A and B are shown apart, each in its own frame.
Chain A
Amino acid sequence: MKKKEVPQDKSNLESANFRELCYAVDENGEYTTENSTGWEPKTVALKNAIEEINERIEDAKSRVLKGETSPIEYYMELHKMDVGILASYVGFWQWKVKRHFKPSVFKKLSDKTLNKYAEVFEISIEELKSMGR
């Protein structure tokens, strides 16, 4: 890549006010660095990944409303986690976390257990139970 070809496309880096560093060659073939505001192919890839996550969040939300899963799954998706990551944050086995997805099990959870989830998601137990409604 030539220094003057380092892409300067619009991207979400703008919101944090920083440009990333790329390596490129100058007109004499010497390696140098140049800042980039973004490159469209990766901005699109990131946008699609975020959309995918948003779909998962919406899907989890509608399943909570239908009584098919507990708000824990919704908040897990909201925090871009999977069962493995959530399990390591709350300190339970994965099968136990999955069990807590069952609305019937969730209803009977102790405040102590609920609090572990609430702390990880940085919300109150009430918010966890009501899914922020």
Chain B
Amino acid sequence: MKPETIINFTHHQSAHCENGVVSNLMKHNGFSVSEPMVFGIGSGLLFCYIPLLKVNHAPVITYRALPGHIFKKFAKRTGVKMKREKFSNPKDAKARLDENLAKNNPVGLQVGVYNLLYFPDEYRFHFNAHNMVVYGKQDDRYLISDPVMEDVTSLSEKELEKVRFAKGAFAPKGHMYYPISFPEKLELEKAIVKGIKDTCKAMLAPVSYVGVKGIHKIAGLIRKWPKKKGVKTANHYLGQVVRMQEEIGTGGGGFRYIYAAFLQEAGKLLGNEKLIELSKEMTEIGDLWRDFALEASRIYKNRSAQTDSYNKVADQLDHIADLEKVFFKKLKKAV
């Protein structure tokens, strides 16, 4: 008989892996916190162009905070204490994981996506900031709750080792984390205000690659790409912008809908009507991001090369940036 541990853990699907793991681990410990709440308190929303990094030979834009930051900020603002460990040796990493499972403690893991065999082939890129929960072991297979999947799944010891020790940017190095202590009562009110203020600050930052200014920056680049890089590369870059915005995990519209869901929930919790109104506005802005994606897809689908069409989608982005500038100023005053 092989030792068997199955922790009574409830899998809830989420849009984004990091929020999902936090939300699921909190629920497991008896605190009902929704995915949008984790995202909002952890100041997940962002826009940032990272000029020095290229993924799949195209520039990188992120619509969310750096991997791990949502988690860190959420824990700090709610007073939850987290234990995090990284390992240089896969054996130690496995031993610590088994130890926790034996103690009935489900843990969060950071993993690479490329060797996650249950993902469709087309989605397996060298992206190392995916998150999952391991909640048991049965017949030498680890039981996995991957928040973006509809159902639970499993990985062999070797498969799990591979994804925990993926290499490249943001290499997980076996990164494992779990909550170790909780406040007596979870007080979300203050945490919400802190989370919102922090997001407004980032989105309105006077830095040309970040927030509202970053959106204008990308709009400007899109206008230049066809001439400077040629149509083929311009379309490849534009496709990557849309993929980053709409990829699995964003919940649609570059995380704007998750954020709107957060504002609605927060507004009700704080009894703040303004937040509920702003949630509606954010939804409308999310719809404009979707319109941008649709329009951009027409360019790279037909491989059309009119400079006009690039200018048109760039105009859409400039418009969104103007709206978000007004939006985050109002949001800052609302809390």
Contacts and interface: CB of A to CB of B under 8 A. Distances in A.
Interface of A: 1, 6, 12-13, 15-16, 18-25, 29-31, 33, 35-36, 39-42, 44-46, 48-50, 52-53, 79-82, 84-85, 88-89
A22 B120 CA distance: 19
B110 to A, nearest CB: 16
Given A20-B15, A31-B265, A42 B300 contact: no
Contact of A81 (B126, B252, B253, B260): B126
B42 interface: no
Interface in B255-311: 257-258, 260-261, 264-265, 279-280, 283, 286-287, 290, 293-294, 296-297, 300-301
Contacts of B248: 20
A121 B187 CA distance: 49
B150 A80 contact: no
Interface string B145-177: 000111100000000000000011101000000
B60 to A, nearest CB: 13
Contact of A1 (B169, B257, B280): B257
Given A12-B123, A31-B36, 7 more contacts: A16-B119, A24-B252, A44-B239, A48-B300, A49-B236, A49-B239, A79-B114
B243 interface: yes
Q: How large is the interface on B (under 10, 10 to 19, 20 to 34, 35 or more residues)?
A: 35 or more
Contact of B261 (A23, A40, A42, A44): A23
Interface string B216-254: 000000000000000000011001101100111001110
B297 A40 contact: yes
A42 B36 contact: no
A62 B235 CA distance: 25
B125 interface: yes
Given A1-B283, A20-B148, A24-B252, A45 B120 contact: no
9 contacts: A1-B252, A22-B257, A23-B15, A23-B36, A23-B261, A31-B261, A48-B235, A50-B122, A79-B114
B89 interface: no
A80 B56 contact: yes
A45 B251 contact: no
B120 A52 contact: no
A24 B258 CA distance: 8
B126 A80 contact: yes
Contacts of B13: 21, 35
B15 A21 contact: yes
Contacts of A89: 167-168
A5 B253 CA distance: 13
B116 to A, nearest CB: 10
Given A12-B120, A48-B300, A53 B280 contact: no
B174 to A, nearest CB: 15
B31 interface: no
A21 B251 contact: yes
A48 B297 CA distance: 10
Contacts of A39: 246
B242 to A, nearest CB: 5
A23 B258 contact: yes
A22 B251 contact: yes
Contact of B150 (A19, A40, A48): A19
Contacts of B280: 29
B83 interface: no
A44 B300 contact: yes
A49 to B, nearest CB: 6
B296 A85 contact: no
B167 A1 contact: no
B14 interface: yes
A1 B253 contact: yes
Contacts of B124: 80
A12 B124 CA distance: 12
Contacts of B290: 1
B333 interface: no
Given A24-B252, A82-B57, A45 B242 contact: yes
B12 to A, nearest CB: 10
